[in-house]
Amino acid sequence: MNFFTRRCGLALLLLTQAVDAETDADLDNGPVQLSPIVVTATRTEQAADETLASVTVISREELELRQSTTVAEALNGMVGLQFSNNGGLGKTTSLFMRGTNSDHVLVLIDGVKVGSGTTGAAAFEHIPVDQIDHIEVVRGPRASLYGSEAIGGVIQIFTRSGKDGSRKSASISGGAHDYFGASASLSERFDKTWINLSANYERTAGINSCQGSLFGGCFTNEPDRDGYKSKSGSFRIGHQLTDDLEFGFNTLHTEGETDFDGSFTNETDFVQQVTGGSIAWDVTTNWRLTTRAGLSKDENENHLNGVFASRFDTKRNSRSVQSDYQLNEAQLITLGYDYLDDRITSSTAYAETSRRNEGGFGQYQLTAGRWSLQASARHDSNEQFGNHETGGGALGYFADNGVTTTVSYGTAYKAPSFNELYFPGFGNASLNPEESKTAELGISGNFQGIDWSSNFYQTTVDDLIAFDMATYAPANISEAKIKGVELQAITLIAGWNINTQFTFLDAKNEDGGPNHDNMLPRRARQSLRVDGDRRSGKWEYGGTLQARSNAYDDLANNDRIGGFVTVDLRGSYQLTPQFLLQGKVNNLLDKTYSTAANYNQDGANLMFTLRWQDNN
């Protein structure tokens, strides 16, 4: 057994001893959560409550308990996270993490970077929830470890692995708007080999996605239902070649079609695919080498009323080598190299269709008594904009009363997208990367059974890319200052597991022009999410309340998006040890609201799911 395994085992042992102090009544009324092991915050294994970053982990069990049908539904309203959606299931979905732009968040699937090279953002709407094992959310800059895109934070999605042993499951769902969904998953472990196969299908007739006009929204009025359907499959295998050598391979493929309202295109056939492989070698008991290779594809063929209009395909080839060396039980040094090659193929003639980036990074982690330190630096060499350096550091103190205090500072950047650089008649090949600086204070602890945390941060983004009306092209002309407060409290009250999350956000335009001091588009100042769940015998029931203050859809702050409050209720009944019946009412109060101007959200709607699971 190598040192890395012992390190994780010690963390779990300490956590288990802490859980032993809980009463049987607590265990009966709700699950006591162990602090999970995360890898995204530092690219090394850590217990989540030992990291110096603001981290949230969503487990497979939580996804099923909340009956989440999309990634946005699972994450929306959590501290620092606001999603916008263009009209229902399968429609364009954007994430604004800590008030930064929608392309300022790095998205990984099983360690592989995903996203469109043309738009610069990931398609959250096409990631199948039924294929997900867990999600790690890291708030705050991580460019000094990952390079471009990680200004607001990082979201890493892990597919099911089979590493935990034999498990077979299936589900079938039906609901409003002719929704139908079906999924199946098979996990097996054979001594030193583990494997998972999963498949999913869903379709819906949808809602009318947009109340548009010739001058706003989708710039057309098509009062019809906009459907969506997708099918997906994933395969993952791992094998322990020797006691010191482990191999892994994974692939996730999703394809389908989505309809929407638009004057230039109103139908898209899409393909999303992520494939990766890794080899981890414990050279000695305190030195691990890991190599990874990945390929992600984002393919979109657009039509207008069935007639071909355009095609945009992206391929991202990535490779990495990482060395983790444990100097002693208190110090860990990480050195790594990343290679990324972006290529696009399109019916539109771009001036350039490929771009390479090479990055080298280093990280030092120290634990000294109640103090913990993390420092990292990275150098990127990009074929388009040249060299770029980023850095970050965090210091934490774990007091004997259970209160943890952290301070951190980090720089980050975002490389321009191919659309911003090279789109015919629109692009500007002279664009520089957007740059940011973030300072943060975090305080967390436990008070009379309440796990609480608070984070205070300020981010300044320079050289923001915005459309320059003087040249009719994008330019580095904008700046933004973002201040935020994130508060969370988790507790058990009368058998109810209550999770309350509140975010205050002050995201302002600081460009010195006519829009100076205006709110950045689609960022609400206040957002609240409260989840409550309870178990009673064979029943589980709960609900989610979400509230968001008003926002604006434009830089001039003329197009107002009204605030809203929604309530979802859910329940389930264990029919047999293998069968579970679930039901959910979304938007119980039938509120009319939107998260993007002119784009509709669904009213009150109902969904049922029958799940089967066999762990033998």
Token pair 């040094």 in the structure block, residue: 333
Tell me the average pLDDT across 337-358: 96
Q: Per residue in 214-225, pLDDT tens?
A: 667 788 888 899
- Average pLDDT on 365-389 reads 96
Q: Classify residue 102 by burial, with Cβ atoms within 10 Å: 0-12, 13-18, 19+.
A: buried
Of 435, 369, 373, which is closest to residue 407 (Cα–Cα)? 373
* pLDDT 10s digits, 525-553: 999 999 999 999 999 999 999 999 999 99
How far CA 121 is from CA of 16, 86, 435, 517, 614, in Å, comes to 40, 15, 17, 26, 38
pLDDT > 90? residue 301: yes
Q: Which domains does the chain have, with CATH numbers?
A: 3-614 (2.40.170.20)
170-179, 394-403, 471-480, range with the lowest pLDDT = 471-480
CA–CA dist 420, 431 (Å, integer): 8
Q: What local confidence, expressed as pLDDT, does residue 33 receive? A: 55
Stretch 285-297: mean pLDDT, rounded?
Answer: 98
pLDDT for position 457: 99
Please state, in angstroms and rounded to a whole number, the distance separating the CA atoms of residues 430 and 185: 48
Where does the pLDDT of residue 470 fall: very low under 50, low under 70, confident under 90, or very high at 90 and above?
low
Alpha-helical runs (H) found in 349-456: 418-422
pLDDT tens readout for residues 16-50: 333 333 333 333 444 445 689 999 999 999 999 89
pLDDT digits (tens, 9 = 90+) for 83-105: 999 999 999 999 999 999 999 99
Average pLDDT over residues 463-480: 81
The average pLDDT across 482-508 equals 98
| Per-residue pLDDT at 256 | 98
Position 381 scores a pLDDT of 97
Give me the mean pLDDT over the 558-563 stretch: 95
pLDDT (0 to 100) of residue 469 = 63
Q: Which amino acid is at 206?
A: G
Structure token digits, residue 460: 């300044």
Specify the length of the chain in residues.
616
In 160-266, at which residue ranges do the beta strands (DSSP E only) sit?
Answer: 167-175, 179-190, 193-207, 226-242, 245-259
pLDDT at 2 (0 to 100): 52
pLDDT at site 165: 86
pLDDT tens, residue by residue, 420-443: 999 998 899 989 999 999 999 999
Q: Which percentage of the chain shows pLDDT scores above 90? A: 85
Average pLDDT of span 373-377: 99
Model pLDDT for residues 47-79, shown as the tens digit of each residue: 998 999 999 999 999 999 999 999 999 999 999
What DSSP assignment string belongs to 344-380?
EEESS--S--EEEEEEEEEEEEEEETTEEEEEEEEEE
Please report the pLDDT score of residue 472 as a whole number.
73
**Amino acid 467: pLDDT:** 75
**Which whole number is the average pLDDT over 232-259?**
97
| Mean pLDDT of all residues in 284-299 | 98
Provide the greatest CA pair distance for the chain.
68
The predicted model gives 477-500 an average pLDDT of 96
Say which residues have a Cβ less than 8 Å from residue 175's Cβ, sequence separation at least 6.
605, 606, 607, 608
DSSP string for residues in 120-157? -S--GGGS-GGGEEEEEEEES--HHHH-TTTTSEEEEE
